[in-house]
Amino acid sequence: MDLHELSVTQAAEGIRKREVSPVELVEALLGRIEALEPELKAWVVVDHEGALAAAKRCEQEAHGDKPLGALHGVPLGVKDIFHAAGLTTTCGSPIFQHRLAPHDATSVARLRQAGAVVLGKTVTVQFAHFDPPPTRNPWNYDRTPGGSSSGSAAAVASRMIPAGLGSQTGGSILRPAAYCGTVGLKPTYGRISRFGVTPASWSLDHVGHLTRTVEDAALLLQVMAGHDPKDQASSPVPVGDYLEAARKRDSAPRLGFVLDEERLATPEVVDHLRQIANRFERAGAEVREVRFPVPMSEIQAVRSLVCEVEASAVHTPLHREHAELYGPEIRAVVEVGQLLPSAVYIQAQRLRRKWRPQVKKMLEGVDCLLMPTVYNVAPDPSTTGSSTFQAPWSLFGQPAISLPSGLSHEGLPLAIQLVAPHFREETLLSAAAWCEAVLDPMPSPC
Contact predicate 260/292, CB 8 Å: yes
How far is residue 414's CA from residue 391's CA, in Å, rounded to a whole number?
18
How far is residue 76's CA from residue 78's CA, in Å, rounded to a whole number?
7
How far is residue 258's CA from residue 364's CA, in Å, rounded to a whole number?
14
Contact predicate 173/198, CB 8 Å: no
Name the nearest CA neighbour of 199 among 30, 326, 314. 314
In this structure, which amino acid lies at residue 55?
A
Helix (H, G, I), strand (E, B) or coil at 388: coil
Instruction: Give the relative orientation of helices 22-40 and 8-16 as an angle to the nearest 10 degrees.
Output: 160
Peptide bond preceding 152 in cis form (omega within 30 of 0): no
Q: What is the number of alpha carbons within 13 Å of residue 79 lying toward its C-beta? A: 34
How far is residue 145's CA from residue 175's CA, in Å, rounded to a whole number?
9
Q: Under the phi-then-psi rule, with left for phi > 0, alpha for psi from -120 to 50, and beta for the rest, what region is 247?
A: alpha
Residues serving a catalytic function are 79, 148, 172
How far is residue 248's CA from residue 251's CA, in Å, rounded to a whole number?
7
Quick count: other Cβ atoms within 10 Å of Cβ 33? 24
Contact predicate 156/162, CB 8 Å: yes
In this structure, which amino acid lies at residue 216?
D
| Sequence-distant (≥ 6) Cβ neighbours of residue 373 within 8 angstroms | 174, 175, 177, 178, 184, 389, 390, 402, 415, 416, 417
How far is residue 373's CA from residue 415's CA, in Å, rounded to a whole number?
6
